[in-house]
């Protein structure tokens, strides 16, 4: 690959790969990379079968994220076009506090998308939404709400790549386990792939040593935490 750039001060220029602008300037330097790097996911765009596809993200604050969180990093690494519908405080099921209810909000989405992921559940747990039973058909229980999400997405985005993600671990993570199990069961029932970040995120904030990867209360991963999560999300999206 040859790139000609007619500028006087090359260190003031930056060329990026993909459709998403880098959130900060990276100073120019001459560096030789090996594709047998210890971080091969950084070059996932080279082999990504999803390059240029539209990735619609639905979720809560962890998905909405900090600047350059896993969503932004994955978009860059896989050369995707991200259409973000995540919102802080969003829930899967129904609450009276005015938060975005994903099981209802899906009806309002008009964007076209090739890949759709849902990453939310923490606020349902914190708010005490009942787990309910698999046979539930309303969004006043987590089972009912998640089944609504699955069926609405399958009907709206028929034939597209739909996937679920469980929440990353948090302090006192055991409270999340019943909600994690619901997501995995619903995903298996409808044939929707699930990335179980709760079991495989590589973070365990109940150990003090891992709090450096979180905010001060052990709920939201910080930038360093998102760097640990990103390769797992990249590999998952690339496998769809």
Least confident of 42-46, 152-156, 214-218, 221-225: 42-46
**Could you tell me if 45 and 52 are in contact, meaning their C-beta atoms sit under 8 angstroms apart?**
no
Residue 46, pLDDT score: 63
Residue 35, pLDDT score: 44
Comparing 228 with 31, the larger pLDDT belongs to: 228
Residue 216, pLDDT score: 84
Residues 112-127, mean pLDDT to the nearest whole number: 97
Residue 67, pLDDT score: 86
Query: Does 152 score more than 80 pLDDT?
Result: yes
Query: Does 163 score more than 90 pLDDT?
Result: yes
pLDDT digits (tens, 9 = 90+) for 138-151: 999 999 999 999 99
pLDDT digits (tens, 9 = 90+) for 214-235: 998 899 999 999 999 999 999 9
Residues 62-81, mean pLDDT to the nearest whole number: 93
The dihedral through the CA atoms of 16, 22, 26, 32 has a sign that is negative
Residue 44, pLDDT score: 61
Cα 47 from Cα 203, distance rounded (Å): 27
**Could you tell me if 37 and 98 are in contact, meaning their C-beta atoms sit under 8 angstroms apart?**
no
pLDDT digits (tens, 9 = 90+) for 78-118: 999 999 999 999 999 998 776 899 999 999 999 999 999 99
């Amino acid at each position: 690959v040859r790139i000609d750039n007619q500028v006087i001060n090359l260190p003031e220029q930056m060329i990026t790969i993909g459709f998403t602008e880098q959130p900060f300037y990276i100073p120019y330097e001459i560096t030789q990379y090996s594709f047998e790097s210890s971080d091969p996911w950084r070059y996932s765009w080279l082999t990504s079968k999803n390059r240029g596809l539209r990735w619609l993200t639905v979720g809560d604050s962890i998905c909405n994220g900090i600047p350059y969180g896993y969503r932004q990093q994955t978009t860059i690494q896989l050369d995707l076009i991200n259409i973000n519908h995540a919102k802080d405080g969003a829930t899967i099921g129904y609450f009276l506090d005015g938060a975005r209810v994903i099981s209802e909000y899906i009806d309002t989405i008009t964007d076209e998308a090739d890949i759709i992921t849902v990453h939310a559940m923490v606020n349902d747990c914190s708010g005490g939404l009942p787990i309910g039973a698999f046979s539930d058909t309303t969004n006043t229980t987590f089972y009912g709400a998640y089944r609504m999400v699955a069926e609405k997405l399958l009907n709206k985005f028929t034939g597209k790549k739909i996937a679920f993600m469980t929440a990353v671990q948090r302090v006192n993570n055991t409270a999340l386990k019943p909600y994690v199990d619901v997501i995995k069961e619903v995903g298996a029932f409808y044939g929707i792939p699930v990335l179980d970040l709760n079991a495989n995120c590589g973070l365990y904030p109940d150990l003090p040593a891992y709090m450096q990867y979180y905010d001060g209360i052990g709920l939201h991963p910080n930038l360093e935490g998102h760097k640990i999560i990103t390769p797992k999300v990249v590999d998952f999206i690339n496998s769809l």
